[in-house]
Structure 1
Amino acid sequence: MTAVMDVVGRLTVAPTPAAVRAARNDIRTIAEKSAGDTGLLGDIELAACEAITNAYLHGTAPIDVTVLHTGQALRVEVRDHGPRNRPDGKEDGGRGMDLIRALTARWGAETSPGETLVWFEVAVS
């Protein structure tokens, strides 16, 4: 059975360090409004920042972020465009995907020609 996901926020992030920082704050605000203070807001914020930074470093603009709520989980999707390295943290010494793996209940990466989607879910009630 597929869970129903309600979109609770969308962002388009410019490929600049300042925009990545601003997006981190925006995602925390969206998560807090939709999931409350679960004690996991810092994990959500950090995992989102890692996924956005990965898109900034290895992808091509625009970087689109969608935050969804399933009732049991908050899901963050980060989509970028263009060619990139593998989104599994094994290229160039970065460990962002390892951090996402450690902070979240589930995560994944999907690639198609010209696009990469990295997503993660954090359990909330």
Structure 2
Amino acid sequence: MNATVADLMRRNLLDVFSEPDAERRNAAIAVTYAQDVVWHEPDRVNRGREALARRAAELLAQSPDWVMRPDGPVSVNDDLGHLAFHYGPAGQPPIVTGMDIARCKDGVIIELYTFVNGSSQPA
């Protein structure tokens, strides 16, 4: 059964980018993204599931006590999904906000764009 766009957006945020366990994260990657997924970050482009998995592991290692949290519901428009997020230490106000926009096809994400707004903390 194919996942909905909303399911994929939640899985992307919670089961991949908030999952510290590599085995569970890799299992989620296998069912969430196309083999040749392209992930656009503000400073780089990651091509393929393996590159996405490596980068997700890097991000989690950089801030092991931080978690991604949805900032509102998933928005869907045909094959596009949008989900805003908060990112920061568990149980604390977010340090970073942003959003993911994904193009989906046949029950997987084929292209992902991540926008980061930077710190949400007062200067």
TM-score range, shorter chain: 0.3 to 0.5
Report the structure, 1 or 2, having the larger helix content. 1
Report the structure, 1 or 2, having the larger strand content. 2
TM-score by length of 1: 0.39
TM-score by length of 2: 0.39
